[in-house]
Amino acid sequence: MSVEWYDLAQRLYAATHGLLVPRLDARPFGKVSQPVAVRAHVSKGTVVATIALPGQGRHRTTASGPLILDTLAAYGVSLSDQRHWSLVTDDHATLPALHRLARESQPDGPVEHVAALIEWWADRADYPGTAAVVNVVDECRARWVAGTTPDAETSAATWRTWHGIGDESVTGVLALFARLHSAPTLHGLGPIQSDDAHAWTKAREALTGPSTWRTRDPLGAAAVGLRARCDAVEVHAAALLNDARYRRRAVHTGHVVHGVVTWTPGKTAKGIGLAEVACTRLDARLRPQDTIAGWIGHPSTIAPPMRLWGLVQSTSRGTDGSLRLRLSNGNIRALKPGQPVTLTAAPPSEGVIKAGRERYGRLYSRRTSWLTTGRTPTPHRRDVPLDVLIAGAPIDEENP
């Protein structure tokens, strides 16, 4: 991997030019409609927090203990709103401290709608790309490279300095957030934003009934929640590849593969497209049976002339030392020798994610399903027609 040297050059550029270098052109989290900035910590067993709302710092208060929930309620920050509130902070201590307060609050008390909001934040914080919780330091690190060391980038002070923000208070957190939020949303985060909206609606609905968020999730809900988190990680990783700057860097991590088409047999007797791509870099993350997406052109191409999709059939090393990727299926047959191509792992399909999650939820909700009973499912086999067997057989190009 050469990504550390790639990043080093960007750090040196930023340092010698006095400029932040963008890692992304887009904002790597969803659109925030109602931010509330909070900094909280535990001091001598008591949670202390400073809260600010946008709007020339007219709302800024420091409170401790249960008064924090009262203050948030007085500002209207609660689960009662139609539009969701987003927690904006610049450290990793705030959310656990608030969550502790929420859990310790009186069930069905007067600030239940605030405690439930904090629970919602704590849940959504597990989803990368969410607009429910924004840690400005983490997001700045995703968005820019500063002319300093990676360790220094973990400090909010570093980012304030590089953005010319002198306000060290929680209002300064909102100023940093405004810089982040001014960019357009990263393309491909739609499923995560939909999840945010859906989770907000569900949480509000739950408020009208008996308090359920204080109890442990049933097994099925926990399993689906875990799966949803994994889905969000994959969606976010795929969305990052929609950003041209990120793609350029991803060449050095092996997530984006660039090469030249060296061989195509044309349309095979079975109608399956085939092509071989020679890549000078050997650190590609693509493996046999991976589904791929790509385009004809270079990694930084912004509007690719043609989208490709297909499958990695095999990988090998050519006599010239290059990595050879044998591609098949999809629209691979359209490739011509000599064309430069850029390939990545295919992004997850929103429809497949939704259907898979529903199927998973059904299996967990039915007491008789193989998943809840713990029984290994019985395989049901039948004879495969000869035509299907032939079509699925490996292709031997030398002895067709």
Partner 1 sequence: MTAPHWREQNVNRPVPPALRAYAERLLAGTDLDTDTALVVVTEPAPDHEDSAVLSALRDGWDGAR
CB of 22 vs partner 1, minimal distance in Å: 8
Q: Check the CA dihedral 242-248-250-254 and report its sign.
A: positive
CB of 194 vs partner 1, minimal distance in Å: 32
What's the maximum distance between 2 C-alpha atoms anywhere in the chain?
79
Distances from the Cα of 193 to the Cαs of 59, 213, 237, 384, in angstroms?
28, 22, 15, 43
Nearer to partner 1, 13 or 370 (CB): 13
Beta bridge partners of 41: 48
Nearer to partner 1, 11 or 60 (CB): 11
CB of 260 vs partner 1, minimal distance in Å: 17
Half-sphere exposure of 74 (CA within 13 A, CB side): 12
CB of 158 vs partner 1, minimal distance in Å: 10
Nearer to partner 1, 244 or 311 (CB): 244
Nearer to partner 1, 12 or 222 (CB): 12
Give me the residues that bind partner 1 (CB under 8 A), please: 2-21, 145, 147-150, 152, 157, 160-166, 245, 248-249, 251-252
Report how far residue 104's alpha carbon sits from residue 118's, in angstroms, rounded to the nearest whole number.
Answer: 12
Q: Is 278 in a helix, a strand, or coil?
A: strand
Nearer to partner 1, 161 or 369 (CB): 161
CB of 160 vs partner 1, minimal distance in Å: 8
Report how far residue 141's alpha carbon sits from residue 180's, in angstroms, rounded to the nearest whole number.
Answer: 11
Nearer to partner 1, 164 or 394 (CB): 164
CB of 125 vs partner 1, minimal distance in Å: 29
CB of 339 vs partner 1, minimal distance in Å: 22
Nearer to partner 1, 124 or 143 (CB): 143
Report how far residue 334's alpha carbon sits from residue 307's, in angstroms, rounded to the nearest whole number.
Answer: 10
* DSSP-derived pairing of the beta strands 85-89 and 133-135: parallel
Distances from the Cα of 145 to the Cαs of 2, 88, 274, 286, in angstroms?
16, 21, 40, 27
CB of 303 vs partner 1, minimal distance in Å: 19
Tokens representing 64 are: 């401790």
Nearer to partner 1, 98 or 250 (CB): 250
Nearer to partner 1, 78 or 158 (CB): 158
Report how far residue 342's alpha carbon sits from residue 102's, in angstroms, rounded to the nearest whole number.
Answer: 48
Specify whether the CB–CB gap between 354 and 198 falls below 8 A.
no
Report how far residue 123's alpha carbon sits from residue 399's, in angstroms, rounded to the nearest whole number.
Answer: 56
CB of 204 vs partner 1, minimal distance in Å: 41
Nearer to partner 1, 148 or 369 (CB): 148
Report how far residue 91's alpha carbon sits from residue 338's, in angstroms, rounded to the nearest whole number.
Answer: 50
- Our CA angle for 255, 261, 266, nearest 5°, is 125
CB of 361 vs partner 1, minimal distance in Å: 43
Report how far residue 145's alpha carbon sits from residue 351's, in angstroms, rounded to the nearest whole number.
Answer: 35
User: Which DSSP string do the residues of 168-186 spell out, in sequence order?
Assistant: -SHHHHHHHHHHHHTSPBP
